[in-house]
Amino acid sequence: MTLLVYGAYGYTGELVAEEAVERGLDPVLAGRNAAELGRVGTRLDCETRAFSLDDDPATHLDDVDVALNCAGPFVDTAGPLASACLATGTDYLDITGELPVFESLAAHDADAADAGMALLPGVGFDVVPTDCLAAHLVDRLPSATHLALGFEPHGGLSPGTAATALRQIGDGGAVRRDGRVVSVPPAHRERRIDFGNGERTAVTFPWGDVSTAYHSTGVENVEVYVPVPANARRALRAVRHLGPVLDADPVNALLQRAVRRFVSGPDAEARASGRAFVWGEARNERTGETVVSRLVTPETYALTVDAATTAAQRALDGDAPVGFQTPSSAFGADFVLSLDGVERTDE
């Protein structure tokens, strides 16, 4: 069985490739930049395949059982690579947290089932902890009509994640109402939340769970929150007027180049010592019944490496159901508890 890691020389992709080698998975490393790919391939003693997603990537997947996409922004890479996987019957996994990617791939559920392959995006911190917590909450309250989810990460961002966040801010906010994804202004709602590390003021954010929590649980009203300091909340509200400017292709491209040049991800010490706090609330609006659960996880990139590699292992073992899947629909609400250093509490 063959695992291909695309984007294996990016910050997260290289960490995932290292972990896959340590677990004896013998991955094939892939990406566009042959020189960078060669550097990582030589260091890890892995086969490499340099190819662009613009040039019929299916020709490079004939012998691949599972493709794990670590190359963001995924709004640019997920479609071409997932289409190639559909053509070859290769299971497709990625580590996106981008709402449009989840919605786009979900539309190909029947195609994936016909091809006998899994479409399984979001197998990193985006969105394994929150998705599994959503499924757990609805197990606790099957009559839930509303879900609110949130997370408080500690540590820095990788260049790819920072570039993706910048693009999402330019696109505005989103929530799910009555089963539909609805566009809203950035930070359109705020509330005080104890993520497990003391109360914080948090605002709505267009995280991937606006899509995945619905597909995992069937709950038709979903909001996602992140804690934001007062100055940043004011800046996000200002973005309501700047969104069209940030979203303009030349401006967005310039800002993303700057991010990739000047932003670096957390170092090994930060990944080893950091923690993230995840919160979720399910409620029945008709009865007023509410349940709350929380997770404490390792630092976000450390969890991403563990979760993505574990999900890839399980897909290689044939454990990923065919069709469009979320982490919890593929592996269950307790999948997150199988990862190192994750604890869950209920109230």
What is the per-residue pLDDT across 201-225, written as a single tens digit (0 to 9) for each? 999 989 999 999 999 999 999 999 9
What is the per-residue pLDDT across 114-163, written as a single tens digit (0 to 9) for each? 999 999 999 999 899 999 999 999 999 999 999 999 999 875 444 444 45
Asked if the model's pLDDT at residue 88 lies above 90, the reply is: yes
Q: Is this prediction's pTM over 0.95?
A: no
> Residue 286 — pLDDT band, cuts 50, 70, 90?
very high
Instruction: Give the strand pairing for 3-6 and 66-69.
Output: parallel
The pLDDT score that the predictor gives to residue 228 is 81
All structural domains of the chain: 3-124+302-336 (3.40.50.720), 128-299 (3.30.360.10)
What is the per-residue pLDDT across 307-339, written as a single tens digit (0 to 9) for each? 999 999 999 999 999 999 999 999 999 999 999
